């Protein structure tokens, strides 16, 4: 799952049916796979928006050691 999330992040054009089949073979449902893709894509989208606009989280966020 994490390898696929990284692939969605770093090289989404290389994602293919074989990746989906590998996840299914590990027991992920199609809904689970959609969730993996959606979370990775949304995370990337919102981070790129924030970085492109110079937006930084509030200081309290950084103090949470995440």
- Entry pTM: 0.77
The class level of CATH for 2-62 reads: mainly alpha
Q: Which residues of 30-50 are buried (b: 16+ CB within 10 A; e: fewer)?
A: eeebeebbeebeeeeeeeeee
DSSP, collapsed to helix, strand or coil, labels residue 3 as helix
pLDDT digits (tens, 9 = 90+) for 2-60: 999 999 999 999 999 999 999 999 999 999 999 999 999 999 998 889 889 988 777 77
- Where along the chain do its domains lie? 2-62
């Amino acid at each position: 799952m994490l390898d696929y999330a990284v692939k969605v992040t770093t090289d989404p054009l290389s994602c293919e049916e074989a990746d989906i089949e590998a996840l299914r073979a590990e027991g992920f449902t199609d809904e689970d796979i959609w969730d993996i893709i959606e979370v990775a894509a949304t995370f990337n989208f919102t981070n790129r928006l924030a970085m492109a606009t110079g937006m930084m989280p509030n200081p309290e966020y950084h103090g949470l050691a995440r």
